[in-house]
Amino acid sequence: MKHEHFETVTYDGRNYSRNYQHTHLFDHEAHAHPHAWEGVSKNRTQQTVMAEDGVPVVQTSRITVAR
C-alpha cells in the first residue's frame, strides 16, 4: 500500500515544498513498522532540508498505535 504526501518544510526562515511516497512493508496495525519511501526534490537546497529535518532518504520508522 502506497501513500503520497505533500509537505511544506520551514528551514532558516524559508518554506520548501516536497512530495514523497512511502510504502507499507507490513500490512497490519503493529506498534512499529518501517516504511520505505522515495522523495522528489525540486532543488539541492531542498535535499539539504530533507536531510536536516530528520527524514532519512532511504528508510524511516513510524510508531503506529493500534486502536
53 vs 7, more confident: 7
CB 2 within 8 A of CB 21: yes
For the segment 25-50, what is each residue's pLDDT rounded down to a tens digit? 555 554 444 444 445 444 444 444 44
- The alpha carbon of residue 29 and the mean position of all alpha carbons in its chain are separated, in whole angstroms, by 19
| pTM tops 0.75, yes or no | no
Q: Specify the number of domains making up the chain.
A: 1
CB 16 within 8 A of CB 46: yes
Q: Which domain holds residue 26?
A: 2-63
pLDDT of residue 61: 44
